[in-house]
Structure 1
Amino acid sequence: MYTKEAAKMASFRSVDELNGAIRTHIYRNKSDLTPAAIEVLKVLSRHAVKTPGVAYLKLATIAELIGKHRVTVIRAIKRLVDLGIIRKEIKYRPVSGGNGANMYVILPAADVTPSVLPRQEAEKPTEAKPEAPERENESVISQSKLKFLQNTYAAFKSAVNTFVCDRKLTNKLYGIYLAHTSYLKGVYAADTLQEIGLEAVRQTFIATKRKAIRNLAGYYNGVLDRMLDRLYAARFDSLTPR
């Protein structure tokens, strides 16, 4: 979806360049960034790896991923725009009408002050073109990918069943895992992402022995998010000159 348009907006040549810019943005603006703004920036950066620097997300999705209210996300995005860290491209659906998911372009950490950044581009709606029909070969999941997904789900089912037999809960946790990692495949090894997802399952159920948790899926979402943040931070550390 919007692959060609996103490619034109790509602001980095590689994921390493993107990571370096994120690290610089956070360092330079740490006194002006709220915790929510940092969380939103991390989510955008994780979803901007396929086309380095361009994330395509709905506000509701961002809110769900960071566990915050939609209004908090809107304020965080505005702050990131005001600081010159991202640019927002509003998408309208020409057929059904209304807003679609927005494109968020993470900007290079140039030596400029936020006050001189061009703001008008961030507020100018960009009309989205109707989606082209999928080609037949794009709609078919390869056998190897299907097998991997089946094996991953089986691993999730086994991990959950170690603590409780609940197919509905397994499906919820697996869905959260897919939502968090779908844009990270190809950047991190698939077995690394799977290991983190399963470890988050174990940590979630272990936590139930210490305290009452009413929403296991929500708790798992938070644990997984923090673990992926640590994975992302480790990548930053590897890029830092010694």
Structure 2
Amino acid sequence: MNYLTQYQSFANKYELNEAIASHLNDHRHQLNDTDLNVLTMLSRYAVKYPGVAHLKVGTIAKALHKSDRTVRRSVEKLERLHIVKRQAFSREKTGGQGANLYIFLPYKQPDLTETKVEQVAKTEQSHQPIHTYVEEPIIPITLYTRFKDLIKSYSGDNNEILASKLYGIYRVHTTRLMKFDVHADKGELLKTIAIQAIRVLFQATKRKNIRNLIGYYDGIFRELTDKALFAEAFMDYDAPVEVKIP
């Protein structure tokens, strides 16, 4: 039995993907590009033993072209947001301090009732009304329409809510990736991957029951993107486990 088995926090990679997608949905605006890149790299190494990655800070820093200090700051933020936790690890043979284990935490639904009570209390104290303005996202009609049409062709329903959420997953990942010069010309490739991920998703639903379509799609999109963009980038580092889409 591998030593990481006792630390894994999920039964399988699909539960891990669901948790990561939910964490991102809640905290995406609190994470900068470096935070997201650290999270992405940790998640790639947390597949074989779902939920736990064993990496040196230096390995992460070298792969992302960042300093050790910058990586540690991102990890600390992920801990504060209860996305991951660090676990000190010592080598049994030498007794020396090894690389930390990074354990992904299950997603917990926020207590909305408590949040509303706190908001009311703050409003009463300040005597100032709280105004919330929600800016509607600008969605490119062509690609979004393809999302809706493809979903309808598989499910038979005009499920705009599902289409919007899947498109949101696509936007989160591509917006981050396209900020890097090395991926600046990959827009069309990422659109193709997004469409292919929908096909893979609905093909999978024919073979088994999928509880969280959004989390499953997120996992498929990330895996296809890894194969298309990152296969060569990580060859010089500790090799992550190759994940096969079911």
TM-score (norm 1): 0.47
Structure number with greater CO (CA < 8 Å, separation at least 6) is 2
